[in-house]
Structure 1
Amino acid sequence: MKIERLETIVTCPGRNFVTVKITTDEGVYGLGDATLNGRELSVRSYLEDHIFPCLVGRDPRNLEDIWQYLYRGAYWRRGPVTMTAIAAIDMALWDILGKLAGMPVYRLLGGKSRDGVMVYGHANGRDHAEAIEAVQQHIEEGYKAIRVQSGVPGMDKVYGVGKAKGHYEPAQKGLPPEETWDTALYLRHTPELFRKVREAVGFDPHLLHDAHHRLTPIEAARLCKDLEPYRMFWVEDATPADNQESFRLIRQHSTTPLAVGEVFNSIWDCKDLIKEQLIDYIRSTIVHAGGITHLRRIADFAAMYQVRTGFHGATDLSPVTMAAAVNFGLWVPNFGVQELMPHSELTDEVFPHNYRYEDGYLVMDEVPGLGVDIDEVLAAKHPYERAYLPVARLRDGAMWNW
């Protein structure tokens, strides 16, 4: 068996996605997600101009060798473009292997460790009352874990809160919008938000919060300490992890669990964080961290230090990645939770899939491969539209982390 054809499918059913399709000489094909939010076309070029020509004629069943070839064989290793491209190839090859074996990918990984993958939803509100209402709505829908974000008085725009009630989509058409950030206002506001949420719904639901890399290490330590009475499931991206040592300062001041990693591309980005037990959940995602093959190594390494998975699962990942994440989550022994931002109905029509939400969990049937497909005719009706994530500035105009 040989790889006969590789292609990218770029579509925008409300937001941009890049999909890799690999077809063998026996007609079996697999899909992989190559979406890099706001830099989609750079990955397409990397794939079409530099990877595809090297893979034609290779045996698609040699997943490990192909992964090593794409990683070790390129002098310029790692980085989001390279690792997203590798991930897309890797996902597609696992999809093919599952179809050849007549098994779901989770069976190939070692079988189920659980019946369903617990997910957390996003409860967003323009103020405290609206956020609490969103939390209560999620509880009614069966969610056991809920991320809570709220608008901050004195700031026009806050990460995680959209203009319309409930809906939040960070990528915006056109050039990058600019938003103003004020750390002092945020730090005064957020603990009060969670005090009110706990008063309203009690301590049964798991509550999560995303600081989105906005805080310095000592500011993050203060926030985590202030949130301790509300028994958080985690605080995500409390401070940028470019310097992994910075999380040690947070640990010295608080027992609030920490999660980080959605922007990580390899095991090297989180090696010290895991080894030194400076985090509790690793959030790397299959599409940006080299695919199932590499993320499996990260998860196994994390398990040695009792760090659990908590993978990124926003709408910037296509249903192809979500299908891969469900397969991975059903298998991985040290699973923690899976983020879930439901895609639009149109996106789900373009990417028909087997996984589904049931009472706080994602489940899937015994279907071969990843359990996801693409309607290429419908995808072609929605061409690429340039879109960017916002940028953030402090009140004095200086650039800050978005």
Structure 2
Amino acid sequence: MKILSAKVIVCSPGRNFVTLKLVTDQGVYGIGDATLNGRELAVVAYLENHVIPCLVGMDPRRIEDIWQYLYRGAYWRRGPVTMRAIAAVDMALWDIKAKLAGMPLYQLLGGRSRDGVMVYGHANGRDIAETVDAVGQYIELGYQAIRAQTGVPGIKDAYGVGRGSLSYEPADAALPTVTGWDTAKALRHVPQLFDKLRATYGFEHQLLHDCHHRYTPREAATLGRALEPFQLFWIEDCTPAENQEAFRLIRHHTTTPLAVGEVFNTIWDVKDLIQNQWIDFVRCSVLGAGGITHLRRIADLAALYQVRTGSHGATDLSPVTMGCALHFDTWVPNFGIQEYMRHSDATDEVFPHDYRFERGLLYCGEAPGHGVDIDEALAAKHPYQPACLPVTRLEDGTLWNW
């Protein structure tokens, strides 16, 4: 059995997606997600110029060997472009192998560890009152866990405040727009949000908050301690973690659970965080971390230290990644939670899928493979549109972490 052909499909049904399709000489095909939000065409070039020429003629059943070939065989390893290209190949290969076996993907991974996957939605508002109302809407939809974000007085276009819909796409212009930030204002305002949420809805539902790499370690520790009375499920990305030891200080000063990892690409990016138990949840995704093959290794390492998974699942990942993530979540023993930002109707039409949402849980389907396909004719009606993520500046003009 051989890979007969491969192609990259770029489309924009409300936002840009990059999809890899591998076709075998037996007519079985698999698809994978290669989207890198705001840098999509860099991955397209990597796939078309460097990866696909190597894949044609390979045996698609040799998933591990192909993964090693694409990772070890490239002297310039790691990084978001390389690892997302590898992830796309890996997803497509697992899709093919599960189809050949006539099984849903989770069965090949080892079978079910749970029936459904707890997910969290994104509630946001321009102010606290609007966010409180949004959380109530998610509770009415059946969510057991909700991420809450609010506008902060005096901060221009605060992170996480969407445009009034369940789907949210921050990449909003051909060139980066500029948003604002002020740590002192946020540290005063964010605890007020969660005080109001607990006063309104009690402690029955899990609440989460995304800091989006905005705080220094000391500031993050201050926020974590201020939020302790409200018993958050986690605070996410509270400081940039290129220096993994930054989380040592935060861990020593707050018991609020810590989650990080959506921008990480390999096990080396989280090794110290996990081994030193400085975090509670690792948020690497199937797409960002080089596919199912590599994410399994990260999850296995995390399990040794009672760190659970909490995979990134925003709309910068296509339904292909979500389908793979749900099969992975259904299997992985140390599962924590899955992010679930709903895609637009147009995206769901281009990527038909068999996963479903019921009472706060997502369920992967039982179709052979990962259960997600692409309608190429419909995709062609949504051509690529340049769109960049914003940048952030402080009030004095200093560039900050978006």
Normalised-by-shorter TM-score class: over 0.9
TM-score for the superposition, normalised by structure 2: 0.99
Contact preservation (8 Å) 1:124, 1:166:
no
Contact preservation (8 Å) 1:155, 1:181:
yes
Residues in 2 aligned to 1:55 and 1:313: alpha-carbon distance in whole angstroms:
28
Gaps of 5+ in 2: none
> Secondary structure of 1:293's partner?
helix
Does residue 334 in structure 1 map to residue 346 in structure 2?
no
> Secondary structure of 1:15's partner?
coil
Contact preservation (8 Å) 2:147, 2:208:
yes
> Secondary structure of 1:239's partner?
coil
Residues in 1 aligned to 2:191 and 2:275: alpha-carbon distance in whole angstroms:
30
Residues in 2 aligned to 1:298 and 1:310: alpha-carbon distance in whole angstroms:
12
State the AA in 2 paired with 1:38: G
Residues in 2 aligned to 1:25 and 1:205: alpha-carbon distance in whole angstroms:
50
Specify the alignment match of 1:231 in structure 2: 231
Residues in 2 aligned to 1:167 and 1:119: alpha-carbon distance in whole angstroms:
15
State the AA in 1 paired with 2:308: R
Does residue 141 in structure 1 map to residue 141 in structure 2?
yes
Specify the alignment match of 1:277 in structure 2: 277
State the AA in 2 paired with 1:325: A
Specify the alignment match of 2:288 in structure 1: 288
Q: Percent identity?
A: 69
Specify the alignment match of 2:212 in structure 1: 212
Give the ranges of 4+ consecutive aligned residues of structure 1 lying more than 6 Å apart after TM superposition: none
State the AA in 2 paired with 1:399: L
Contact preservation (8 Å) 2:166, 2:341:
no
1:233-382 to 2 correspondences below 5 Å = 233-382=233-382
For residue 394 of structure 1, report the CA deviation from its aligned partner. 0.5
Contact preservation (8 Å) 2:167, 2:343:
no
Specify the alignment match of 1:57 in structure 2: 57
Q: Per-residue CA shift, 1:85-138, capped at 9, x if unaligned?
A: 000000000000000000011000000000001000001011111101111111
For residue 365 of structure 1, report the CA deviation from its aligned partner. 2.8
> Secondary structure of 1:388's partner?
coil
For residue 369 of structure 1, report the CA deviation from its aligned partner. 0.3
State the AA in 2 paired with 1:229: P
For residue 154 of structure 1, report the CA deviation from its aligned partner. 1.4
- Quote the RMSD (CA, aligned, Å): 0.8
Q: Per-residue CA shift, 1:178-232, capped at 9, x if unaligned?
A: 0111111000000011000000000010000000000000000000000000001
For residue 168 of structure 1, report the CA deviation from its aligned partner. 3.0
Q: 1:166 to 1:101 in 2, by over 3 A?
A: closer
For residue 167 of structure 1, report the CA deviation from its aligned partner. 5.5
Contact preservation (8 Å) 2:323, 2:370:
yes
State the AA in 1 paired with 2:367: V
Residues in 2 aligned to 1:152 and 1:178: alpha-carbon distance in whole angstroms:
16
For residue 156 of structure 1, report the CA deviation from its aligned partner. 2.5
Residues in 2 aligned to 1:177 and 1:364: alpha-carbon distance in whole angstroms:
37
Residues in 2 aligned to 1:322 and 1:239: alpha-carbon distance in whole angstroms:
26
TM-score for the superposition, normalised by structure 1: 0.99
Specify the alignment match of 1:125 in structure 2: 125
Gaps of 5+ in 1: none
Q: Per-residue CA shift, 1:283-330, capped at 9, x if unaligned?
A: 001111100000000000000000000000000000000000000000
Q: Per-residue CA shift, 1:247-298, capped at 9, x if unaligned?
A: 0000111000000000000000000000000000000011111000000000
State the AA in 2 paired with 1:271: K
> Secondary structure of 1:120's partner?
strand
Contact preservation (8 Å) 1:134, 1:166:
no
Matched pairs, number: 402
Specify the alignment match of 1:37 in structure 2: 37
Q: 1:137 to 1:13 in 2, by over 3 A?
A: same
For residue 348 of structure 1, report the CA deviation from its aligned partner. 0.2
Residues in 2 aligned to 1:297 and 1:335: alpha-carbon distance in whole angstroms:
14
For residue 146 of structure 1, report the CA deviation from its aligned partner. 0.4
Specify the alignment match of 1:395 in structure 2: 395
